[in-house]
């Protein structure tokens, strides 16, 4: 089959979250592509908690385009009211003989920012032409490679359909595209909650919080560690609001239909009387607001992210527990990689090569981040063998893991992958031209 095409190559991005929209913002600038985002929701909801994006995430955004990074800058808000104020993630022991000890000050910097997911999505959306995105389109079925042109058919729950050359699944933790790629029976298809994590969270005004908890915990980012769960506060909206949460390990689900992420026993402060008093105050404030609780899910490693012209990226490929705060960062790194590789796609065959290259370049790092995020959870609960509640070992782990996640050479890896893509295409084209030459040389012989 001749896979060269005179029409633009059509790319469907399924899911318009951070991964889908940031990639779309890059691909819509590539004239040889016809990109469309299919998003299930009819509008974005603000789920409250702010995202902290680290150095790797900001570099990835800048590589997709300066306007993508600018969209973040326009929407991000300082954690505190003073731009110049130094702010760090302060990790404390909240339990045991070292309760109250400061373990580590992570990411100490002036004017640290967070961004609400809904605000960031709004900023990214403004970079995508309106006719390149459809809302209320929930993918329910994929039918591969039908017809002469071997195009892929997508069916949506509203009964509509689309036919495209390439599908990039950014449809999050419960990804349909992942289930299709791995097969519904594959053990890594559905997300898991191995350690039975349950998160409880409240969003309050900082003025209210100051009546309940020590003032210092309303203007820093404390993480307080203990064996049954860790407590975390994040100031938001220039210090006007506070998000306070506890992630508890080993919570038995409340009997229900089994499918509801929100089925959780109520948070009981009486179970934390052996925690440091500062942590107890925060837990009691969270317990007063039963409105937000969810199970924390992640993915067991998928054996591949790509099959043919279909691929997954972002949380669809590698959802991590939120304890390391790098899920969006990994989604943005994926998007930056795919955006660059698609610059080398000119015909249908090139898509297979680009997506196979993406798979090889990203699978090891992203799955290491998923594993590290699990380890963060165990370390925070003093449950990691060899580390336990040893303050020095916890500090050493945090330093090493932070370095791996945030100080990554995003551009270097992307350019190396692009060179690989170019080399594979060159080898293929040389072989094809060689065959053509051989055929033309053969012709006179065969006429003899
Ligand atoms: C409490 C919490 C705090 C976090 N904090 C941080 C942080 O500080 N820093 C960080 O880097 N990361 C953080 N993360 C992780 C981060 O939020 C995610 O990794 C990131 O949002 C993933 O983006 P995504 O686009 O891949 O997936 P999603 O944001 O889940 O987007 C998927 C999109 O696909 C759509 N969709 C789903 N199914 C379909 C379908 N069948 N058809 C069409 N569309 C569909 C959904 O509606 C959604 O819009 C945190 C996560 C949590 C839960």
| Domain boundaries defined on the chain | 9-77+113-190+298-424, 198-295
Residue nearest to atom 30 of ligand 1 (CA): 172
Q: Which residues line ligand 1 (CB under 6 A)?
A: 14-20, 38-41, 49, 51-53, 57, 137-139, 170-172, 176, 314-315, 322, 325-329, 331
Of ligand 1's listed atoms, the one at least distance from the Cα of 171 is 34
Residue found by looking up tokens 């591949």 in the block: 304
Relative to the CA of 313, which ligand 1 atom is closest?
26
Give the C-alpha separation, 15 to 36, whole Å.
10
**CATH number assigned to the domain covering 198-295:** 3.30.9.30
CB 181 within 8 A of CB 174: no
Please report where in the chains the tokens 């329910």 appear, as a residue. Answer: 140
Give the position of tokens 């039918």.
Answer: 143
Among 393, 178, 383, 218, smallest CA distance to 298 is for 178
CA torsion sign for 198, 195, 20, 39 is negative
Task: Report which protein residue has its CA nearest ligand 1's atom 2.
Answer: 322
Please name the residues in contact with 186: beta carbons below 8 A apart, sequence gap of 6 or more. Answer: none
Q: pLDDT confidence of 441, banded at 50, 70, 90?
A: low
**For residue 202, what is the enclosing H or E element?**
strand 198-205
Arithmetic mean of pLDDT, 354-377: 98
Phi, psi of 221 (to 5 degrees): -115, 85
Which residue in this structure is represented by tokens 């409105």?
Answer: 291
CA-closest residue to ligand 1 atom 50: 322
| CA-to-CA dists, residue 276 to 103, 273, 282, 389, angstroms | 14, 8, 10, 15
Catalytic residue among 176, 201, 219, 295: 201
Both tokens of 222, joined, read: 């404390």
pLDDT of residue 303: 98
Q: In what order do the strands lie in the sheet with 166-169?
A: 133-134, 33-38, 9-14, 166-169, 310-312, 306-307
Query: What DSSP designation does 128 have?
Result: S
Instruction: Place 2 in a pLDDT band, splitting at 50, 70 and 90.
Output: very low
Distance 424 CA to ligand 1 centre (A): 33
d(CA 294, CA 253): 11
% of the chain at pLDDT higher than 70: 90
Chain centroid to Cα 362, Å, comes to: 13
Judged against a pLDDT cut of 50, whether residue 90 lies above it is answered with yes
The arithmetic mean of pLDDT across residues 294-318, rounded, is 97
CA-nearest residue, atom 19 of ligand 1: 327
Known catalytic residue: 201? yes
Range name among 106-110, 198-202, 218-222, 305-309 with the lowest pLDDT average: 106-110
Burial per residue of 15-25, b for 16 or more beta-carbon CB atoms within 10 angstroms, e otherwise: bbbbbbbbbbb
Closest residue CA from atom 17 of ligand 1: 328
The answer on pLDDT for 49 being more than 90 is no
Is the pLDDT at 263 greater than 90? The verdict is no
The edge-to-edge listing of strands for the beta sheet with 113-116 is 50-51, 113-116, 77-78
- Pick the closest to residue 313 from 142, 139, 170, 413 (CA basis): 170
Q: How far, in Å, from the CA of 26 to the mean position of ligand 1?
A: 19
Average pLDDT taken over every residue of the chain: 90
Residue with tokens 């969003």: 203
pLDDT, mean of residues 48-69: 89
CATH number of 9-77+113-190+298-424: 3.50.50.60
pLDDT higher than 50, residue 447 = no
pLDDT at 33 over 50: yes
Pocket probe mutation, ligand 1, options 171, 199, 245, 334, max atoms within 8 Å of Cβ: 171
Beta pairing partners, 293: 200
Place of tokens 């210092």: 216
For the segment 404-422, what is each residue's pLDDT rounded down to a tens digit? 998 899 999 999 999 999 9
Q: Which has more pLDDT, 336 or 250? A: 336
Tell me whether the CATH fold assigned to 9-77+113-190+298-424 matches the one assigned to 198-295: no
Tell me, what's the pLDDT at 446?
41
User: What would the mean pLDDT of 116-124 be, rounded to a whole number?
Assistant: 91
| φ, ψ of residue 324 in degrees (nearest 5) | -100, -5
Q: Which residues fall within 8 angstroms of residue 260, CB to CB, at 6 or more apart?
A: none
Ligand 1 mutation target, pool 24, 115, 117, 172, most atoms within 8 A of CB: 172
Tell whether the model's pLDDT for residue 147 goes beyond 90. Answer: no
Tally the C-alpha atoms within 13 A of residue 292's C-alpha that lie toward its C-beta.
16
């Amino acid at each position: 089959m001749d896979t060269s095409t005179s029409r633009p190559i059509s790319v469907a991005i399924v899911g318009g979250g951070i991964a889908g929209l940031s990639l779309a913002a890059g691909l819509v600038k590539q004239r040889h592509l016809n990109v469309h985002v299919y998003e299930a929701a009819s509008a974005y909801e603000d789920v409250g908690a702010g995202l902290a994006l680290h150095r790797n995430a900001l570099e990835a955004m800048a590589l997709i385009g300066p306007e993508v990074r600018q969209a973040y800058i326009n929407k991000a808000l300082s954690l505190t009211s003073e731009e110049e104020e130094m702010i760090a993630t302060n990790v404390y022991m909240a339990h045991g003989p070292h309760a109250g000890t400061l373990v580590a000050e992570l990411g100490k910097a002036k004017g640290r920012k967070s961004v609400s997911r809904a605000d960031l999505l709004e900023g990214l959306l403004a970079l995508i032409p309106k006719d390149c995105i459809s809302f209320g389109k929930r993918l329910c079925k994929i039918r591969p490679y039908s017809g002469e042109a071997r195009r892929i058919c997508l069916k949506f729950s509203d009964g509509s359909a689309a036919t495209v050359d390439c599908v990039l699944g950014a449809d999050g933790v419960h990804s349909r595209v992942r289930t299709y790629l791995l097969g519904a029976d594959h053990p890594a298809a559905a997300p898991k909650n191995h350690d039975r994590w349950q998160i409880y969270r409240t969003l309050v005004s900082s003025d209210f919080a100051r009546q309940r908890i020590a003032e210092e915990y309303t203007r820093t980012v404390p993480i307080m560690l203990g064996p049954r769960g860790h407590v975390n506060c994040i100031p938001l909206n220039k210090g006007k609001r506070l998000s306070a949460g506890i992630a508890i390990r080993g919570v038995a689900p409340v009997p229900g239909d089994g499918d509801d992420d929100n089925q959780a026993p109520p948070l009981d402060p009486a179970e934390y009387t052996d925690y440091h008093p500062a942590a107890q105050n925060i837990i009691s404030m969270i317990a007063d607001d039963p409105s937000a609780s969810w199970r924390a899910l992640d993915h067991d490693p998928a054996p591949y992210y790509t099959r043919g012209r279909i691929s997954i990226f972002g949380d669809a490929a590698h959802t991590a527990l939120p304890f390391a705060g790098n899920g969006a960062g990994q989604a943005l790194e994926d998007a930056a990689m795919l955006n660059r590789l698609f610059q080398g796609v000119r015909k249908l065959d090139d898509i297979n090569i680009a997506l196979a290259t993406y798979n090889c370049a990203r699978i090891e790092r992203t799955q290491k981040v998923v594993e590290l995020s699990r380890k963060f959870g165990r370390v925070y609960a003093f449950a990691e063998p060899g580390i336990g509640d040893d303050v020095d070992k916890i500090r050493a782990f945090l330093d090493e893991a932070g370095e791996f996640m945030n100080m990554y050479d995003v551009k270097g890896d992307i350019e190396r992958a692009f060179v690989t893509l170019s080399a594979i295409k060159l080898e293929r084209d040389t072989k094809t031209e060689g065959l053509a030459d051989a055929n033309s040389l053969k012709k006179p012989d065969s006429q003899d």
